Every structure is written in C-alpha cells, then in structure tokens.
C-alpha cells in the first residue's frame, strides 16, 4: 500500500548511492533498472561539498548518466533566493567551487579574507555550506561580523550529521544554529527538509502529481520528514546514516523502511501503474 500508484522517485545521493568513497552495492543498478522500467527519476541532494558538475561526474564514474536538470542541489535555490532579494555580494562560507552554482558575487571566507576584512565592504549575504576546513573561529568570526553588520544568513542545509568512513560526523546544522544563536538572526534553510526544495523537484516531473512521487533517503528527518511535509510519501533506506536509534527517536514515521534502493526496486511493480 505504501507504494500504490508510484510513478516518480526523488532519490537522495549520499548514504543511498555511496558512503564516503564506497559505493552502496546495488544502488546504481537499481536506479538504472527503475528508469528502464518507466519510472521517472530525479536526484535531490543536500550535498554542498562539491558543485553540481562534480556530482554529475561522480555519478557518471559510478555508472549513472544523469542530465544536469535531473539533479537538484540547494545552491540553485540559494542563488534564486539571493537574486529575488536584490542580489549583491555574498560571503561564501562553503567550498569555493560552489560559486559556480551560486553565481557572481562570491566573497572569500578564508584566512586572507580575514586579513582584508577591515578594508573590504561587508557582503549582503552569508552563505553556509558543509566545508569542514571552514569550521574554525577565524572564518566563522568573519561571517559572524557580516551578520552583525546586517547580512542575511542563507544555509544550504542544516543537517545534524552525516556518515563518513570514520563513522558519524557532526553536520552543518551545528554551525547554522551556532551562528543564529550568536548573532541573534534566523537563517533561511534552502535544502531538505525545506518545502520549496521539494516543490522545485516536483515541478520537474511532467504530469505527475505529488501523490505519485516518493522520496527515498537515509535521513529520517530531512528526507522522509521533509517529503511528508510537502505532501509526498517518504521511504527510508537502512544504508548511510540510518540507525534504529535515530529512527526510534524521530517524530517522523516513514511510509516504508527498506534495506536499500535495490530492495525498493524489487518491491515496486514491474511498470508504474
């Protein structure tokens, strides 16, 4: 019943297709199989550690050919948000390559920026992405002073954690909430679980209502909770950051929990109906 009428899938990347440098066995084959069977597939990721072009190259190396418009990243929405708010310079507290997706106006947040700070005008925006080398007082202090001077805070996401080869790591949310608290401001979070991000992805499906689309991911709150908040069904996979303890502690109840993407592909009908 959880899969009745499904014809479109939004697939998370990190934790579904790979964990660190390791591919999750069977996921690429499952995605290719589902596409061949007539399911419409889009990829919806909060990953901000590399720009969209690099993500596409990585997927291609794994064996998945994905068109740019089928892969949605938070940077696209952040760029639109800033344009709608009058544009202008933004402090890029994220991987420097993300400027390719965010558009013109990037102001560096590295140590040189800290040295030039007094001589440079304050940017209108502070954009936060997951880039652990920038989780340092020198960098965050520059962003903090931008915020005190009136810059608006845009968070590409506010995930609590993610999994690497070492185990769980604290996520970008730690920095987002910390800067909000310190500067007395509220961030606009554009990635999952924010509803506009899901709406953007839904808009790319032709003729498919939200009742026919499921989101598949390893984060019960961002992926499943976000999807349900946007009126879609949410399927949780037991790969990536999944843990029984996190699932039990979450107020979110997934529509379905499966071992991995391959198990979901087996559970779906041969063709969408």
Residues contributing to the site for Mg ion (CB under 5 A) = 12, 14-15, 218
By C-beta, is 17 or 144 nearer to Mg ion?
17
CB nearest Mg ion: which residue? 15
The nearest distance, CB 265 to Mg ion, in angstroms, is 18
By C-beta, is 146 or 218 nearer to Mg ion?
218
By C-beta, is 12 or 200 nearer to Mg ion?
12
The nearest distance, CB 156 to Mg ion, in angstroms, is 14
By C-beta, is 62 or 114 nearer to Mg ion?
62
By C-beta, is 16 or 153 nearer to Mg ion?
16
By C-beta, is 91 or 131 nearer to Mg ion?
131
The nearest distance, CB 12 to Mg ion, in angstroms, is 4
The nearest distance, CB 170 to Mg ion, in angstroms, is 15
The nearest distance, CB 219 to Mg ion, in angstroms, is 5
The nearest distance, CB 136 to Mg ion, in angstroms, is 25
State the DSSP string of the chain: -TTTT--EEEE--BTTTEETTEEPTTHHHHHHHHHHTT-EEEEE----SS-HHHHHHHHHHHT----GGGEE-HHHHHHHHHHHTT---EEEES-GGGHHHH-S-EE--SHHHHHHGGGSPPPSEEEE---GGG-SHHHHHHHHHHHHTTPEEEES---SEEEETTEEEE-THHHHHHHHHHHT---EE-STT-HHHHHHHHTTSSS--GGGEEEEES-IIIIIIHHHHTT-EEEEESSTT--HHHHHH-S---SEEESSHHHHHHHS-SS--
By C-beta, is 66 or 126 nearer to Mg ion?
66
Q: For 100-115, b where at least 16 C-beta lie within 10 A, e where not — what string?
A: ebbbebbbbbbeebbe
If one counts every other C-beta atom within 10 angstroms of the C-beta of residue 163, the result is 18
**Could you give the CA distance from residue 237 to residue 218 in angstroms, rounded to a whole number?**
5
Structure-block tokens of residue 183: 């500067």
The nearest distance, CB 90 to Mg ion, in angstroms, is 26
């Amino acid at each position: 019943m959880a899969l009745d009428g499904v014809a479109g899938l939004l697939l998370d990347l990190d934790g579904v297709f790979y964990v660190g440098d390791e591919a999750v066995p069977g996921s690429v084959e499952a995605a290719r199989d589902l596409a061949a069977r007539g399911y419409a597939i889009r990829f919806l990721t909060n990953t901000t550690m590399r720009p969209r072009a690099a993500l596409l190259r990585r997927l291609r190396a794994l064996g998945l050919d994905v068109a740019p418009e089928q892969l949605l990243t938070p940077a696209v929405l952040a760029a639109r948000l800033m344009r709608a708010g009058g544009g202008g310079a933004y402090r890029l507290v994220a991987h420097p390559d993300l400027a390719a997706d965010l558009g013109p106006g990037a102001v560096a947040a590295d140590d040189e920026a800290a040295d030039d700070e007094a001589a440079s005008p304050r940017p209108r925006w502070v954009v936060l992405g997951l880039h652990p080398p920038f989780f340092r007082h020198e960098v965050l202090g520059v962003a903090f002073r931008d915020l005190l001077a009136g810059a608006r805070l845009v968070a590409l996401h506010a995930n609590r954690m993610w999994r690497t080869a070492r185990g769980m790591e604290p996520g970008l949310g730690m920095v987002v909430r910390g800067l909000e608290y310190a500067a007395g401001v509220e961030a606009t979070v554009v990635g999952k679980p924010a509803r506009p991000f899901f709406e953007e992805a839904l808009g790319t499906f032709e003729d498919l209502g939200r009742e026919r689309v499921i989101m598949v991911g390893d984060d019960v709150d961002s992926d499943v909770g976000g999807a349900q908040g946007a009126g879609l069904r949410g399927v949780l996979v037991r790969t990536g950051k999944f843990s029984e303890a996190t699932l039990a502690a979450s107020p979110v109840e997934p529509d379905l929990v499966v071992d991995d993407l391959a198990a979901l592909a087996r559970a779906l009908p041969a063709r969408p109906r």
